[in-house]
Amino acid sequence: MPFPDDEACLTFLWRQRHAADGEHAYCPRCRHIRVFKRYQIAESRKSWTCSRCGLHLHPTAGTIFEKSPTGLRTWFSAITLVAGSHGGITATELQRQLGIGYRAARRIKAQLTEAVDFNTPGFADLSAEDSLILSLQLCAPPARPSFSSPAGDPAGPPGQVVAPPGAGSPGGPGGRLPVYLNRFVGRQREIAMVLRLVRGSRLVTLAGDGGCGKTRLAAEVAAREAARYSHGAWWVDLARIDRDQSVAAAAADALRLYDQPRQSRVDALTGQLRDRSMLVVFDNCEHLLDGCAEVILPVL
């Protein structure tokens, strides 16, 4: 297992839930992306501290690990065993393999099977490590700032509104993402996989048949990731654009950017985005591949 001790497990949760780079995370008190450092005064304190205001963020807060007397490495090992058996392993076998008491083994299995449905097809073809990662995404999903509900403006497809920029937007402070009128249900495996791709690559493409849910999946992932970017997450909808030459103008309008004299629109976009930390989603790109490439590649 790639987690030799409890500290390695804790660091993994910190990166997964708060700071993909291990250092920059959204501070609810500052309402901004700040540098966080591991709290070193008391080794037993499982937290990172905001370098600006001193707020502590605990990677296990709100998870099944938070108040457990069992160490994180034992939890991670248990998850691997339970996921590998699709939830079928007995508490007695967990006790034997983990070297813990029967009551602890029974409690761990009960909490895991309540938090994760290990019988879903999503676990069938995964390696042990990927099963562990997916299970951890479900047991301890990325922390999201508690923004107030946006008023929104009706500018999206049916069932969807687009929130105005600001702290109330699901795109984070300064961002702008669609807000749906119903809850996102299921597809946890896809969410976990796209989150891993987004955190490891500067460009991620979601492809699939029309109507399979690419837009909704992208919106959900962007909302979960918005707090990791100091300028939020933004949405560029190209459904109504019919010419490659119009993509740059649509992007500038959606991102609230402006033209520069004696510069092409793409150069103006690139210059204004150069120093910003943003997650930008281009939706409905399939009929405008050349136009999207002309805008996106220089920015990357």
Predicted confidence at residue 121, as pLDDT, reads 63
* Predicted pLDDT at 132: 83
Query: 148 lies in a domain?
Result: no
Q: Is the pLDDT of residue 162 over 60?
A: no
C-alpha distances (whole Å) from 83 to each of 25, 66, 77, 207 are 30, 21, 10, 28
Range from 48-52, 214-218, 273-277 carrying the lowest mean pLDDT = 273-277
Give the model's pLDDT for residue 181. 59
Asked, for residue 5, whether it belongs to a domain, the answer is: yes
User: Taking residues 227-249, what's their average pLDDT?
Assistant: 85
Helices (H), 62-159: 72-84, 91-98, 102-115, 128-139
Highest mean pLDDT among 24-38, 86-100, 113-127, 188-202: 86-100
Averaged pLDDT of the chain: 80
Tally of domains within the chain: 3
pTM over 0.85: no
Same domain, 139 and 1: yes
With respect to residue 155, please indicate whether it lies within any of the assigned structural domains.
no
Whether 137 and 169 share a structural domain:
no
What pLDDT, on the 0 to 100 scale, is given for residue 44?
A: 59
| Domain co-membership, 167 together with 66 | no
Encode pLDDT of 69-106 as tens digits. Answer: 999 999 999 999 998 888 899 999 999 999 999 999 99
* 150, pLDDT greater than 80: no
Do 176 and 212 share a domain, yes or no?
A: yes
pLDDT at 90: 95
Q: Which residue has the higher pLDDT, 172 or 27?
A: 27
SS3 244: helix
Both 5 and 52 in one domain: the answer is no
Range of the domain at 31: 19-57
Grouping H, G, I as helix, E, B as strand and the rest as coil, residue 230 is coil
Whether the pLDDT of residue 154 is over 50: the answer is: no
Write out the two tokens for 96.
């034997």
pLDDT over 70 (residue 192):
yes
Residue 151 lies in a domain: no
